[in-house]
């Protein structure tokens, strides 16, 4: 099987653009080279450059620069993380116009135990978003395990992000034309990233106390915030700012929710401006007469919070999957991978807040099984064992001529799927080491791993 993967990749030339923070893209490139592919990395700032290891780095200005690099290098494949930022959206358009294969990575739809790999589009543009649930083959057994609520990789994610932004700031003069997709100046972005890393102990203590208070004061609904610069918000971009979203939800909550109902606003785990968001929640709650009915929660574990909730609201957050797994009613403003009427039966905010309706019985179990077969890969971008596991499974999928969705659409999909992912040379080399490392980490007392569920997937 390793020889088969090598044959598929031997004459392939990959152009990789921006990836998740940390060494994941550099390690993935090494695995692809081991199978015979050639790999270049195109970056638009010094943070991209600092994370690259090995040869083949190209300094680019924008999507037009990426298109030129495809032409000059004879690229056959474009690989990137997140399709929505302008640089990547333009590069994808250019790649598809030239007939290149495109490979899109994202955070796991069922995270934190998985990452996402697709070719056609991600999030609201994913094939899974338009695939009727009734047409999804049922998976073996019952519902898949709930996505783990513990973010054991959070500290790794935070520190990789801080290192990236410090390198970006330090090398800013080498990229004078760089315009980040976030509207925040580089020095402020770097300061926030470093502050978030340094302030983790304080944030953990704050959120534990705040969460305990919130859970005691039932009944409540949960509003799941995303980061303001999240490029996956898509059609709901007008709600990208916290103020706009909070104003919309609290106005509806004051008008339609039962008087005894409370609203818990949960911040994203990587939110760097927790104090600012908490003040914003108080100010908007006061304006709508919700002084005693709204609370801000600076992150924290999602599972205990959802276990006691009546319903949840979000824009497009993948955290909504945990609400759906529990059978909780969920309202989403934007187009998401789970925007199906069986999962989100109510499209009117006032009606939802007055009387939220749960997802159709069995719909999320079928949907999750479909995602696990088609787009989810066990592992992590941010921990060493998680990266090894993810890359071992990812390389054969990248090498395959057809995507997993093609096999889902074909007859006898389950039988065909067995031949979709043969083990690569890299996978053969690291699989046993990955499992051993993860088991050892699990057995160490007090050691927090990202998830133990993915070991059995």
Give the model's pLDDT for residue 416. Answer: 43
For the segment 267-287, the average pLDDT, to the nearest whole number, is: 90
Name the residue ranges covered by the structural domains of the chain.
2-150+377-456, 200-361
At 161, is the pLDDT very low, low, confident or very high (cuts 50, 70, 90)? confident
Q: How far is CA 45 from CA 53, 82, 172, 173, 178, in A?
A: 15, 17, 7, 10, 7
Strand partners, 114: 378
Q: What does the alpha-carbon distance between residue 115 and residue 383 come to, in Å, rounded to a whole number?
A: 12
Q: What percentage of the chain reaches a pLDDT higher than 70?
A: 77
pLDDT of 423 over the 70 cut:
no
Tell the CATH superfamily of the 2-150+377-456 domain. Nitrogenase molybdenum iron protein domain (3.40.50.1980)
Q: How far apart are CA 41 and CA 304, in angstroms?
A: 41
pLDDT at residue 433 in the model = 46
> How is domain 200-361 classified at the CATH fold level?
Rossmann fold (3.40.50)
Q: What is the pLDDT of residues 291-336, one digit of tens each?
A: 999 999 987 788 899 999 999 999 989 899 999 999 999 999 989 9
Structural contact between residues 296 and 281, judged by C-beta atoms closer than 8 angstroms? yes
Where does the pLDDT of residue 126 fall: very low under 50, low under 70, confident under 90, or very high at 90 and above? very high
What residue spans of 297-354 are helical by DSSP H? 302-307, 320-325, 349-354
Single out the residue of 192, 388, 370 nearest to residue 276, CA to CA.
192
Res 177 pLDDT > 50: yes
428-437: which pairs have CB atoms within 8 A and are 24 or more residues apart? 428/1, 428/2, 430/388, 430/389, 430/391, 430/392, 431/389, 431/392, 433/388, 434/385, 434/388, 434/389, 434/392, 437/384, 437/385, 437/388
Rounded to whole angstroms, the Cα distance separating 10 from 26 reads 19
Do the domains at 2-150+377-456 and 200-361 have one common CATH topology? yes
Band (pLDDT 50/70/90 cuts) for residue 193 is: low
The 8-class DSSP code of residue 276 comes to H
**Tell me: the pLDDT tens digits for 362-417?**
999 999 999 999 999 999 999 999 999 999 999 999 999 999 999 888 754 444 44
Res 256: pLDDT: 98
State the pLDDT confidence band at 420, using cuts at 50, 70 and 90.
Answer: very low
Does residue 401 or residue 112 have the better pLDDT?
A: 401
pTM: 0.81
């Amino acid at each position: 099987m390793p020889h088969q993967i090598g044959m598929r990749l031997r004459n392939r030339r990959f152009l990789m653009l921006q990836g998740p923070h940390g060494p994941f893209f550099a390690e993935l490139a090494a695995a692809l080279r081991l199978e015979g592919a050639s790999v270049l990395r195109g970056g638009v700032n010094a943070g991209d450059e600092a994370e690259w290891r090995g040869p083949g780095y190209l300094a680019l200005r924008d999507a037009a620069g990426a298109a030129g690099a495809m032409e000059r290098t004879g690229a056959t494949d474009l690989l990137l993380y997140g399709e929505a930022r302008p640089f990547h959206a333009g590069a994808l358009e250019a790649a598809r116009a030239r007939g290149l294969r495109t490979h899109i990575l994202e955070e796991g739809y069922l995270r934190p135990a998985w990452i996402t790999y697709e070719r056609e589009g991600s999030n609201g543009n994913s094939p899974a978003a338009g695939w009727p649930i009734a047409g999804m083959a049922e998976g073996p057994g019952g519902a898949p395990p709930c996505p783990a609520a513990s973010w054991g990789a959070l500290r790794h994610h935070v520190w990789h992000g801080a290192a990236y932004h410090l390198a970006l700031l330090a090398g800013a003069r080498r990229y004078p034309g760089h315009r980040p997709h976030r509207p925040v100046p580089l020095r402020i972005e770097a300061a926030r990233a470093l502050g978030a890393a340094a302030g983790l102990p304080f944030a953990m203590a704050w959120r534990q106390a705040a969460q305990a208070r919130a859970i005691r004061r039932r009944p409540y609904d949960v509003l799941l915030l995303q980061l303001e610069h999240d490029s996956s918000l898509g059609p709901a971009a007008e709600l990208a700012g916290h103020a706009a979203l909070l104003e919309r939800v609290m106005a509806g909550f004051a008008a339609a929710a039962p008087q005894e109902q409370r609203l818990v606003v949960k911040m994203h785990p990587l939110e760097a401006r927790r104090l600012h968001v908490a003040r914003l929640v108080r100010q908007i709650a006061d304006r709508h007469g919700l002084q005693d009915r709204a609370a801000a929660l600076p992150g924290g574990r999602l599972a205990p919070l959802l276990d006691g909730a009546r319903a949840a609201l979000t824009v497009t957050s993948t955290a909504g999957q945990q609400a759906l797994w529990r059978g909780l009613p969920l309202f989403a403003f934007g187009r998401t991978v789970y925007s199906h009427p069986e999962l989100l039966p109510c499209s009117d905010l006032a009606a939802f807040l007055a009387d939220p309706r749960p997802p159709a019985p069995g719909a999320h179990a079928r949907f999750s099984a479909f995602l696990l077969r088609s787009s989810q890969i066990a592992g992590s971008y941010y921990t060493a064992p998680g990266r090894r596991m993810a890359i071992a499974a990812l390389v054969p999928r990248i090498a395959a001529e057809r995507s997993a969705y093609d096999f889902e659409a074909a007859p006898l999909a389950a039988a065909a799927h067995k031949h979709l992912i043969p083990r690569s040379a890299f996978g053969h080399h690291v699989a046993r080491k990955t499992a051993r490392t993860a088991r050892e980490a699990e057995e160490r007392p007090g050691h927090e791993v990202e998830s133990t569920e993915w070991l059995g997937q």
